[in-house]
Chain A
Amino acid sequence: MPSYVNVEKCDGCKALDKTACQHICPNDLMVLNTETNKAYNRDVSMCWECYNCVKICPTQAVEVRGYADFVPLGAQCTPLRSTDSIMWTIKFRNQQLKRFKFPIRTTPEGAAEPNGGFATHNDISNGLLSTEPEASGLSELPKLK
């Protein structure tokens, strides 16, 4: 299975043109079954367990069951991703629970300015890239001595 979809929770993203999991899967694995209106992972042996489908699902319908050819059953890693942090709940096979929270970004979503606020220049012929040397924190382009 690596990622699998809970039948009860999946609403097929309410018949939008594509489901969230289908939109995000880097390996083109998540598909909407148009008859049942539920998503599924079409080729579990090509799943990297990147959890992007799990993180993006609006109804928390996607979960991961570790690769059955080497991972014993019973554990689970469950993320809850917000705009600035991610909370992980780790359930062990022996039922022990651990919880961790980590920051994921320091700026509001969508705010990334391509030049990062660094000064830019207009000389296409020199070796300095658009935001350099300021973005490098240097006064000029370093050379080999």
Chain B
Amino acid sequence: MANFETVEVTTDVLIVGGGMAACGAAVEAAYWAKQNNLKVTMVDKAAVDRSGAVAMGLSAINQYVGLKDGENTLEDYVRYVRNDLMGITREDLVANIARHVDASVHLFEKWGLPIWKDDDGGYVHEGRWQLMINGESYKVVVAEAAKNALGDENIYERVFIVGPLMDGDRCAGAVGFSVRDEKFYVFKAKATLVAMGGAVHVFKPRSSGEGLGRAWYPPWNSGSSAYFTLQAGAEMTCQEVRFIPVRFKDAYGPVGAWFLLFKSQATNGLGEAYMQTNRDELDNWEPYGKVKPVPANLRNYLMMLDVMDGKGPIFMQTAEAIKNLSETVPDEKERKKKLKELESEAWEDFLDMTISQALLWASTNVQPEEKASEIAAAEPYFIGSHSGASGAWVSGTKDLSPDDYFWGYDHMSTVNGLFCAGDASGASSHKFSSGSHAEGRIIGKSSVQYVLDNPDQPNVDSAAVEELKAKILAPIDTYEAHKNETTDPAINPNYIKPDMFMFRLQKIMDEYVGGVSSQFKTSKTNLEKGQELLQFLKEDSEKLAAENLHELMRCWENVHRMWQADAHLRTILFREETRWPGYYFRSDTPEMNQEDLKVFANCIYDAKTDSWEMLKRPIHQLVD
């Protein structure tokens, strides 16, 4: 076996991940831990300053309820999320996050995030729930508060966590390795907080060369949360609810400001507004088809109908929007000033969060005030914090949740001592960056409560740790054992490198499970064929080979993706209906079945028997 030193770290609360949810968990857990003489440790595969989905920055905060000014109520937010997810949502979780999210936003502002203000000192809204920010350093500012709370000595950067450490049915920590030095890490903890983001590159991206990395959600979201919770034996929910964003084509620049702030319209290549011309289709998806705003997947679907009819390309009518906005200012001098402002706002929208889109506009000489720009549906992603919903099935909270949704500690998974937030927790969509931070704060507190109630350090079997170490480092051994057998180490019949492994996964998912090239359509027979091919891939994962630490991380990231793919495929197969056209369409069950399938489709993986259990859980409507 590769000769890596084993480093053991014993702590009370372990935070795995470094993004928005993890940073929220850090500030809150550190506060309660200090009062109770407990230790909190954070481990991140990158540098906390710029890790996670907000690493580049953001141009808006997408969840702000505005409770203090009576702008909206908790009930308003619950209704909005329920409708957008076609009825499938945990209203208790959504409400719990919504009642804590404003505090996260107010903290961001105190920490130094510039939030746009109007002349009266109120926040500038992009839409009902969205605030405009100067967000280039959003993550830097949020990370700073987390680091100040924890202390540098409690933060491990560039350590990649592979999976959980278990003591029977209790999570006992996590294991992984440094991507800088040959060290194997064993973190022993009384409570483990999973916040490692969603999953990208499970499906084949649209780009074929260098642009592979330009996914809408960042490529370093590799399914690590899903793998961790699945392997721990946690019940998972909404694994079928992928998200497909419609964004500016190819570079995936944000459209929110254009639709909501600039009131822009999208049309097909013939200039027809598909939301109007295809409106009748919404009748088929009642009651959700008739609510405002129209659910994101249905908006996608009305657009896709035109694309499938060959009526593309689809355009965001930027020039028309800017013209309409400037015409609201009658004075010519004032109008010029307004145009200048709009231009700056439009460019900042990209430069704060998707610089590639600014580069694409500059390289194609686009002036948004002069001509329209193309938009398109991206490939599917797993992002429980946005309009997707995949993640672990977690406990609600005492004063909001029905009995079967509550088991003692807020947002704890079904595994004792294992807590989830952000993309790691499911059925609580529309948390975005701010709600993920708020959910992190929620588990920061509830995990300390758990540790106080369960003060014993879990037992960790050292033989089991050695077994995990051998398994995790195996790709290095495989490479060393076979690398000299061929003249080019990239090709060898005895192993598979992580890049080709990922391409194989992406091809299976794309072609059989409703990716871009199959127009997001699938069926039972397609899924079963995909499952057969996925099984071969799973067997071949034993032959992954890594030349160095970077590739070892890539090997495990792709194993994580494969498990996310497996849970996704099984759950689409289990839910015999089409509920989210525009995300995926099951051509053999093309209609929504409100009578039998307005339920959660959950799954549990049992590592001991290598078997899956699929189950339905009831939906409790808490808000009228």
Interface residues of A (CB under 8 A from B): 1-2, 18, 23-28, 31, 42, 44-52, 64, 66-77, 79, 81, 86, 88, 90-94, 96, 98, 100, 102-107, 109-118, 120, 122, 124-125, 127, 129-132, 135-138, 141-145
Partner of B47, one of A26, A92, A115: A26
Contact indicator B362/A91 (Cβ below 8 Å): yes
Structural contact, A100 and B347, CB atoms closer than 8 A:
yes
Closest chain-A Cβ to B549's Cβ sits at a distance in Å of 9
Interface residue from A2, A76, A94, A106 paired with B213 (Cβ < 8 Å): A2
Instruction: Decide: A112 near B218, CB < 8 A? Known: A49-B359, A77-B359, A131-B107.
Output: no
Report if A1-B210 is in contact (Cβ < 8 Å); known contacts: A90-B362, A116-B111, A130-B28: yes
B213 and A48 within 8 A (CB): yes
Complex Cα distance A144/B400, Å? Answer: 7
Q: Which of B394-438 contact A (CB under 8 A)?
A: 397-400, 410
List of B residues within 8 angstroms of A76 by Cβ: 359, 362
Q: Is the CB of B49 within 8 A of A130?
A: no
B residues less than 8 Å from A118 (CB atoms): 103, 106-107, 110
Does B310 belong to the interface (CB within 8 Å)?
Answer: no
Q: How far is the CA of A142 from the CA of B102 in the complex (A)?
A: 12
Question: Judging by beta carbons under 8 Å apart, are B622 and A144 in contact?
Answer: yes
* A100 pairs with B356, CB closer than 8 A: no
Known: A51-B56, A67-B356, A92-B363. 13 other contacts (CB 8 A): A18-B180, A23-B47, A69-B209, A76-B362, A81-B136, A86-B136, A93-B362, A100-B347, A102-B134, A105-B113, A112-B141, A124-B448, A145-B73
Are B111 and A127 in contact (CB-based, < 8 A)? Answer: no
Contact of B210 among A68, A74, A86 (CB under 8 A): A68
Q: For residue B317, give the distance in angstroms from its CB to the closest CB of chain A.
A: 22
Chain B residues whose CB sits within 8 angstroms of the CB of A81 once the complex forms: 136
Q: How many angstroms from the CA of A106 to the CA of B112 in the assembled complex?
A: 5
Write out the residue numbers on chain B whose beta carbons fall within 8 Å of the beta carbon of A109: 144
Q: How many residues of B contact A (CB 8 A)?
A: 92
Chain B residue nearest in CB terms to A23 = B47
**Do B344 and A28 have beta carbons less than 8 Å apart?**
no
Assess A71 versus B348: contact at CB under 8 Å? Given A113-B110, A143-B399: no
Within 8 Å of chain A (Cβ to Cβ): is B42?
no
Asked, given contacts A49-B356, A88-B351, whether A26 binds B145 with beta carbons under 8 Å apart, the answer is no
Give the residue name and chain of the B residue nearest to A52 (CB): B50
Cβ–Cβ contact B441 & A129, under 8 A: yes
A116 and B359 form a contact (CB under 8 A): no
Compute how far the CA of A24 lies from the CA of B348 in the bound complex, rounded to whole angstroms: 22
Dominant secondary structure of chain B at its interface with chain A: helix
Distance between Cα atoms of A23 and B179 in the complex (Å): 12
Residues of chain B within 8 A (CB-CB) of A143 are: 74, 99, 399-400
Question: What are 15 residue pairs bridging A and B, where the CB atoms are less than 8 Å apart in the complex?
Answer: A24-B49, A27-B46, A28-B179, A28-B550, A67-B209, A71-B359, A92-B363, A100-B351, A102-B351, A111-B112, A112-B145, A118-B106, A136-B67, A138-B67, A144-B78
The yes or no answer to B131 lying at the interface (CB within 8 A) is no
B592 interface contact, C-beta 8 A: no
Q: B598 contacts the other chain (Cβ, under 8 Å)?
A: no
| Cβ–Cβ contact B364 & A72, under 8 A | yes
A93 touches B210 (CB 8 A): no
Across the interface, name the chain A residue whose C-beta is closest to B366. Answer: A92
Q: How far, in whole Å, are A76 and B355 apart by their CA atoms in the complex?
A: 10
Most interface-central of B137, B146, B148, B364 (chain A CB within 10 A):
B137
Counting CB contacts under 8 A, is B445 at the interface? yes
Q: Are A45 and B212 in contact (CB under 8 A)?
A: yes
A115 to chain B, nearest CB (A): 7
B114: which of A104, A138, A142 is its contact (CB, 8 Å)? A104
Q: Given A90-B347, A107-B112 in contact, is the A127-B397 Cβ separation under 8 Å?
A: yes
**Given known A28-B179, A138-B68, contact A115–B362 (CB-CB < 8 A):** no
On whether A50 and B218 interact (CB within 8 A), knowing A100-B351, A107-B112, A114-B149, the answer reads yes
Whether the Cβ atoms of A120 and B31 lie closer than 8 Å is yes
CB–CB B137/A144 < 8 A: no
A49 to B57: give the CA distance in the assembly, Å: 12
Distance between B370 CB and nearest chain A CB, rounded to angstroms: 12
Bound-state CA distance A80–B442 (Å) is 37
* CA A45 to CA B73, docked complex, whole Å: 44
Q: Which residue of B lies closest to A53 (CB)?
A: B50
